[in-house]
Amino acid sequence: MAARIYYAGDSTVAQNNIFSYPQTGIGQTLSLYLKQAHIVQNYAMNGRSTKSFIDEARLAAIDNDIREGDFLFIQFGHNDEKIEDPSRYCAPYGDYQTNLETFINVARAHKAHPVLITSLYRRLFDENGTLIENTHGDYPEAMKQLGAKLDVPVIDLCELSRKLLIATGDEASKKWFMNFSAGLYENYPEGKTDNTHLRYEGALKFAGMIAEELKKLGGIYAELILVEAPTDN
């Protein structure tokens, strides 16, 4: 049976257009790993935290449409961290967990399946080429603890992407992020140094990590994912 994946998140997930190209969100590329019948409904929006996503009725829009057997992927943290902005900030072991539980409850009220996904690691290397530790503070751990408490699967993209960045290194990992020299893209003639947002190659890479973790979860989660290349036969 076809299922819909509702994806709630921030700019690392969100749909982009030609005017922000080559920036690409994970939600744009995840469908490449899914069996053809399944559809990604990408509700992610740049700059949103769990708080602002709820306050702007974006979760309410999902609540109005999600149905039994669908999935709700929940990936927040980058903007919940912004203590200087009361419209977005949520303490990791306070409102952040409370808001995540609200997302989970929306899914479960419709007999849909919530999945928590920790934030993509920031690509921050020091002058010695060593990846800076703990770029998201307590937020990934707070999400994992809530998932364990509420029996919700957690895909730890933060840790998976951290390990990949270490293995790949400073220079080679730039190809995944909006970090490039002048003259490469028409929308950014002066180049860009952005170690949070992704290019297409990065969105594809990290969506693939999520797909592999869904396979490992097994059952209804693994059933979403392609296991071999489709043929014309």
pLDDT in tens, 136-153: 999 999 999 999 999 999
Query: 167 — phi, psi (to 5°)?
Result: -65, -30
The answer on pLDDT for 229 being more than 70 is no
pLDDT at 187: 97
CA atoms within 13 A on the CB side of 114: 25
pTM, 2 dp: 0.96
Task: Give the pLDDT band (50/70/90) at residue 2.
Answer: confident
d(CA 12, CA 81): 15
Whether residue 131 is predicted with pLDDT greater than 60 in this model: the reply is yes
Buried b (16+ CB within 10 A) or exposed e, 108-119: eebebbbbbbbb
* Structural domain contains residue 228: no
Q: Residue 232 pLDDT > 90, yes or no?
A: no
List of residues 6+ apart from 158 with CB closer than 8 A? 77, 118, 119, 120, 121, 136, 140
37: Cβ contacts below 8 Å, ≥ 6 apart = 1, 2, 3
- Asked if residue 233 is part of any domain, the answer here is no
Instruction: Give the pLDDT mean for 182-208.
Output: 97
Distance CA 20, CA 30 (A): 19
Q: What is the CATH number of the domain that holds 118?
A: 3.40.50.1110
**% of the chain residues with pLDDT over 70:** 97
The mean pLDDT of 27-47, rounded to a whole number, is 96
232 within domain boundaries? no
Three-class SS of residue 207? helix
Give the residue numbers annotated as catalytic, written as ranges: 11, 190, 197
Total structural domains in the chain? 1
In this structure, is residue 193 part of a structural domain? yes
Q: Dig out the tokens for 193 from the structure.
A: 């140094």
* Residue 33 belongs to domain spanning: 4-222
CA dist., res. 17 & res. 148, Å (int): 36
Report if residue 229 sits inside a domain.
no
Asked if the model's pLDDT at residue 123 lies above 90, the reply is yes
**Is the backbone peptide bond immediately before 114 cis, with ω within 30 degrees of 0?**
no
